[in-house]
Amino acid sequence: MSHKKKLINLFVNKKAHIGVVGLGYVGLPLMLRYNEVGFKVVGIDIDGEKVDALSSGESYIGHISEEKIKKACATGFEATTDFSRVSELDAIILCVPTPLNKYREPDISYVIDTVEALLPYLRKGQVVSLESTTYPGTTEEELLPRIQGKGLEVGEDIFLVYSPEREDPGNPDYETRTIPKIVGGQTVSCKEVGVALYEQAVDKVVALSSAKAAEMTKLLENIHRAVNIGLVNEMKIVADKMGIDIFEVVDAAATKPFGFTPYYPGPGLGGHCIPIDPFYLTWKAREYDVHTRFIELSGEVNRAMPYYVVDKLVGGMNDVGKPLKGSHILVLGIAYKKNVGDVRESPSVAIMELIRNKKANVAYSDPYFPAFPKMRNHFFDLTSDPLTKESLKKFDAIVLATDHDSFDLKFLQENAKLIIDARGKYRNNEPNVIRA
Question: Do 155 and 190 form a contact (C-beta atoms < 8 A)?
Answer: yes
How many CB atoms sit inside 10 A of residue 151's CB? 9
Handedness of CA 43, 129, 136, 116 (dihedral sign): positive
Handedness of CA 400, 406, 409, 415 (dihedral sign): negative
Cα 305 vs. chain centroid, distance in angstroms?
19
Q: What is the DSSP string of 17-72?
A: EEEEE--STTHHHHHHHHHHTT-EEEEE-S-HHHHHHHHTT---STTS-HHHHHHH
66: amino acid identity, one letter:
E
Q: Which residues contact 248 (CB under 8 A, 6 or more apart)?
A: 427
Which of these is catalytic: 73, 95, 190, 273? Answer: 273
**Helix 48-55 to helix 66-74 angle, to the nearest 10 degrees?**
80
User: Which three-class secondary structure string do you get for 293-362?
Assistant: HHHHHHHHHHHHHHHHHHHHHHHHHHHCCCCCCCCEEEEECCCCCCCCCCCCCCHHHHHHHHHHHCCCEE
Assess whether 95 carries a catalytic annotation.
no
How many whole angstroms separate alpha carbon 139 and alpha carbon 154?
12
- Quote the strand ranges of 36-173, DSSP E: 40-44, 78-80, 91-94, 126-130, 158-162
How many whole angstroms separate alpha carbon 333 and alpha carbon 346?
10
Closest CA to 44 of 35, 31, 57, 56: 31
Active-site residue list: 273
